[in-house]
């Protein structure tokens, strides 16, 4: 049945979804014995600025709280009335409002997408020297945007171009809906061709190939330099890099590891990836039982004795600390392995910035944390670990049955045959 057309000022009923196993599920389809890790409430509201109603969403730990929050946002939307975009609105003003809507949850985007858009807006769309940021929406042409994309590309923003176009597309589409302009110039805007196939350029000028990994001698040299870097040791980045070099985690997984996820004293020490830290509007970083994919949730053996010893050391250091007077700091210390300088949860964006500087100092401007992950996968393959065990160890999304794995229960113990190659002391 088609939805009833909403008139200006009207809102639909509220619909609810719960997070089950990392996926949003309609409330009516959630089994009675399952409790969602969080709830999302959604309402459609017609403010008159577009033929299509806006979706207003809110998330919280309970269904009732999500409902309360979405009702408050609906009330705010009704107060704000018609779009403020007019013939005098500049690109900067429109993009700034778009970012505000994203951060307040008026426009629904995943936390990772919000982080990406915030970074792209600050570093590319509204960067200093932008030729279009302060132009009025009514004056911008396709040619203006094309020249701007080329400048961003030349400045090392090749990987950001599609995001830049998407952000522009949103604000120009809104301007069309508000009858400020007749056509969206991004509809016919093509991205510049890459200067070299399969490569992109980082802000430090280094090119990046999606298949490149560290050779054995490079791996050893990088670790030697990182382990001796005083600033890295102060921030705990040396331990984080060690984990990346030996376990192949994604950066979001690594900074989110909890003490409860580790079994360091078993005959075969194991670790589990069960979720990650996500940024929630108004609350900051919080643990969420969500992974990149279903296969991202996994239990894997430790492949390096050095890594197990490092984690035992960190556990011992934590146990010897006096209780902190700030509850938030003490909670983070009790639950999570890696913490920020202030003793709170590690922010992925901040960690990536520090890692970029660390790898640059070490003489590896092309390396990222994900390079360490590719290196682990390459090492597993060279050790003749089965494709099935590699897929499960890395948390890849290949569909394979548990009976295909070396222990029959989904734990890739076959990866242990790569342990000698994973050592960073014996080479």
Supply the DSSP string of 328-353, one letter for each residue: HHHHHHHHBS-B-TTSSBPPHHHHHH
**What DSSP designation does 197 have?**
T
Q: How many residues does the chain have?
A: 427
The model's pLDDT over 101-134, given as tens digits with 9 standing for 90+, comes to: 888 777 767 777 888 899 999 999 999 999 999 9
The reported pLDDT for the residue numbered 198 is 45
The model's pLDDT over 300-356, given as tens digits with 9 standing for 90+, comes to: 999 999 999 999 999 999 999 999 999 988 999 999 999 998 889 999 989 999 999
Which of 3.60.40.10, 3.40.50.720, 1.10.443.10, 1.10.569.10 is the CATH number of 211-422? 1.10.443.10
Tokens of 262: 């580790």
Predicted confidence (pLDDT) at residue 87 exceeds the cutoff of 70: yes
The pairs formed by 22-28 with CB atoms below 8 angstroms and a separation of 24 or more are: 22/289, 22/290, 22/291, 22/293, 22/294, 22/296, 22/297, 27/63
Sign of CA dihedral 376, 377, 379, 385: positive
Q: Helix, strand, or coil here: 424?
A: coil
The model's pLDDT over 324-340, given as tens digits with 9 standing for 90+, comes to: 999 988 999 999 999 99
Query: Mean pLDDT, to the nearest integer, of 28-52?
Result: 86
What average pLDDT does the structure give for the chain? 86
Q: Helix, strand, or coil here: 6?
A: coil
Residue 176: phi and psi, rounded to 5, are: -65, -45
The reported pLDDT for the residue numbered 68 is 92
* CATH topology classification for 85-210: DNA polymerase; domain 1 (1.10.150)
- What count of other Cβ atoms lies within 10 Å of the Cβ of residue 50? 14
Query: Mean pLDDT, to the nearest integer, of 367-386?
Result: 95
What does the DSSP assignment read for 111-141? HHHHHHHHHHIIIIIT-TT-SSTTSBGGG--
Predicted confidence (pLDDT) at residue 406 exceeds the cutoff of 50: no
Write a three-state SS string for 246-284.
HHCCCHHHHCCCEHHHEECCCCCCEEEECCEEEEECCCE
d(CA 246, CA 250): 12
- Domain extents for the chain? 1-82, 85-210, 211-422
H or E, element range at 285 = strand 284-288
The model's pLDDT over 129-171, given as tens digits with 9 standing for 90+, comes to: 999 999 999 999 999 999 999 999 988 888 899 999 999 999 9
The model's pLDDT over 31-42, given as tens digits with 9 standing for 90+, comes to: 988 999 999 999
């Amino acid at each position: 049945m088609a939805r009833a057309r909403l008139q200006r000022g009207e809102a639909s009923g509220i619909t609810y979804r719960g997070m089950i196993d990392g996926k949003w599920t309609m409330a009516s389809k959630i089994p009675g014995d399952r409790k969602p890790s969080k709830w999302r409430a959604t309402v459609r509201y017609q403010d008159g600025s577009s033929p299509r109603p806006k979706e207003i969403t809110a998330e919280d730990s309970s269904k009732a709280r999500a409902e309360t929050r979405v009702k408050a946002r609906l009330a705010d939307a009704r107060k704000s009335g018609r779009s403020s975009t007019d013939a005098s609105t500049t690109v900067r003003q429109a993009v700034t409002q778009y970012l505000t809507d994203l951060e307040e949850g008026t426009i629904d985007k995943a936390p990772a997408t919000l982080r990406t858009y915030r970074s792209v807006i600050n570093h590319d769309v509204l960067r200093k020297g932008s030729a279009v940021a302060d132009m009025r929406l009514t004056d911008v042409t396709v040619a203006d945007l094309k020249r701007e994309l080329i400048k961003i590309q030349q400045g090392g923003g090749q990987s950001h171009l599609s995001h830049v176009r998407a952000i522009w597309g949103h604000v120009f589409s809104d301007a069309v809906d508000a009858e400020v302009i007749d056509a969206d110039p991004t509809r016919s805007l093509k991205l510049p061709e890459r200067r070299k196939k399969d490569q992109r350029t980082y802000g430090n000028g280094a090119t990046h190939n999606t298949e490149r990994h560290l050779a054995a001698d490079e791996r050893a040299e990088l670790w030697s330099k990182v382990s001796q870097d005083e600033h890295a040791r102060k921030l705990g980045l040396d331990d984080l890099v060690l984990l990346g070099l030996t376990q192949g985690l994604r950066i979001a997984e690594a900074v989110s590891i909890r003490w409860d996820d580790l079994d360091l004293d078993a005959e075969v020490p194991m670790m589990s990836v069960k979720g990650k830290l996500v940024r929630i509007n108004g609350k900051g970083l919080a643990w969420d039982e969500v992974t990149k994919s279903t296969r991202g949730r996994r239990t894997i053996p430790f492949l390096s004795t050095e890594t197990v010893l490092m984690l035992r050391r960190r556990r011992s250091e934590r146990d010897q600390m006096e209780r902190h007077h700030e509850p938030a700091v003490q909670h983070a210390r009790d639950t999570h392995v890696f913490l920020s300088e202030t003793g709170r949860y590690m922010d992925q964006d901040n960690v990536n910035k520090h890692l970029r500087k660390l790898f640059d100092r070490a003489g590896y401007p092309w390396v990222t944390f994900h390079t360490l992950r590719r290196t682990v996968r390459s090492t597993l393959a060279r050790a003749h670990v089965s494709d099935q065990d590699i897929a499960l160890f890395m948390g890849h999304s290949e569909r394979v049955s548990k009976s295909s794995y070396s222990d029959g229960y989904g734990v890739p113990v076959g990866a242990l045959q790569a342990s000698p190659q994973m050592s960073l002391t014996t080479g």
